[in-house]
Each structure stands twice: as structure tokens, then as C-alpha cells.
Structure 1
């Protein structure tokens, strides 16, 4: 694995993470309700016995920075993981879709419920599952495209 491919995968993951973050924050502003990421952060705080927030209030600037910073850090780690688990000859479409689906399954179907910070995904409605699936496929494609683009440099 080349350093430029690793950097590209991280850049692609972070770029996709920024896009998803923008959608989530816009959704908060439109609905007046905290995003799923805010709910995850607040559930994590509660499970650790840390201060509890009003779970219905929109996040303030410092909480939003913490939430989105964590989301982007996870995006970077996922991008690095993509670079490690795939080879340089991987096609963007196949590897991006597969990685996005794997990451979605790992986070929403296994890790989140296992940690008790989100309800199991199989209890979500079809629209939510579809949205999460699409978001993570796009994430995987952006990560794979970043890795491919930078590996050619």
C-alpha cells in the first residue's frame, strides 16, 4: 500500500463525511430536531455516566464541533481501513460499494447496537435503512475514488 493511496482513501472518506455532516446539520435546522449523530453522542455520554443533555434540544456550537469532529475522525479511520483491506488494483465501483455496505453493516447493525448507543437497525423503517444504505455506498465510492485518484499520482 502506497502512502499516496492511503492519503487518497482518507481524503475521500473525509470528503464524503463532510457531505453527510452537511446533510445532517441541514436536516437539524430544517426539522428543529437533533440529528442521529447528536443522538448517538448523547447516548454515548449517558452510557459513560457523563453529563446528560436535553436530548430534544439542537446541539450548540461546541457540542456540534465535538459531534462532527468525531464523525470526521471516524470517516478518516474508515478511509484508512479501506486502503489497508483493498489492493491497488481494486475497481472503484465494486470495492467502493462493498466497503460502504460493510461499513454500514458494521456500524449500524453490529457496533452501535452492541454498545447500546442506537437501536438495532433491523428495527428501523425501510426508508431509514434505505437512506443509511445509500449514504454508506456513497461514502464507500468516494473513499475508493480518492484512493484510486491519489494512487495514480
Structure 2
């Protein structure tokens, strides 16, 4: 395994994760409503028996935001590592990034989240939400693939 490629894929995943995090936090501030990540974290905390869980309509404070975004970035880094170990090194950035992003989206939003009971099934979402989630994950996959490619060539 190419260690540079692994590091690049993880870095690409983190960069994309940070971008999505920034969009989520900006959306919270604009709308005054907690992000989907906050909802996921609170549902997970409730299912794990963590008390107290903040009210669903309250914006996360700094400590809760650190937990939410820290978990999101850990998942982004882990996904980057999965990309590096499962995608051939000579795969094109655009096709491999798009395919990986869509596969990651399907795994998280269509399978894992609903099975774990931490989010409603994606098939119950409206078309705009599905499109936004798919686009975010494609961008994530492209950034991860690009990071892997750039680092492998360095």
C-alpha cells in the first residue's frame, strides 16, 4: 500500500469534511435551526443513554459543536482511508471519486443511518434533500480521490 496515497486520501476527505462542516454551521446560523449533523448526534446520544440531550430546537453550543464536527471529521478521515484501500491507484479521479462519493452516500444515508435508527430513511426525504446529499457526497468523493492522486504523485 502506498502510504503517501493513504495520507492524501485522508487529507482530501478531511478537506471535504471541513467544507461540509462549514456549510452546515453556516446553515445553522442562517436558519436558526440545528443541522442534520446535530440531529444525528442528538439522536445517537439519546439512543446511547447520554443525558442530558439538548432540546431538538436549540442550536449546539461550542462543546456540542466540537463533538458533532469532531465525529464528522473522524468519519471523513476514515472514509478517506477506505477509499485508499478499496480503489485502484490508477483509477481516474473523476470516475472513482464520483463512484466512491455515491457509494459512501448510499452506505450512510440509505443503509447505516436508518438501520442504526439515527436518521429517517433517505427514501422518505424530498428530492431536493436527496440531491443535496448526493452532491455533497460526490464532492467529498472527488476531493478524496484528488487528494489521493496528488499525494501519490508527490
Residue 125 of structure 2 is aligned to residue 124 of structure 1 = yes
TM-score (norm 1): 0.99
User: Counterparts of 1:4-153 in structure 2 under 5 Å?
Assistant: 4-51=4-51, 52-153=53-154
Aligned equivalents of 1:9, 1:95: Cα separation in 2? 12
- Count, aligned residues: 153
Specify the SS of the correspondent of 1:150.
helix
Runs of 4+, deviation exceeding 3 Å:
none
Unaligned runs of 5+ in 1: none
TM-score (norm 2): 0.98
| Structure 1 vs Structure 2 CA RMSD | 0.5
Specify the SS of the correspondent of 1:143.
helix
Unaligned runs of 5+ in 2: none
Specify the SS of the correspondent of 1:99.
helix
- Displacement of 1:37 in angstroms is 0.2
- Displacement of 1:152 in angstroms is 0.2
- Displacement of 1:81 in angstroms is 0.3
* Cα deviations by residue, 1:99-132 (Å, 9 ceiling, x for unpaired): 0000000000000000000000000000000000
* Cα deviations by residue, 1:13-60 (Å, 9 ceiling, x for unpaired): 000000000000000000000000000000001111111211110000
Aligned equivalents of 1:60, 1:24: Cα separation in 2? 14
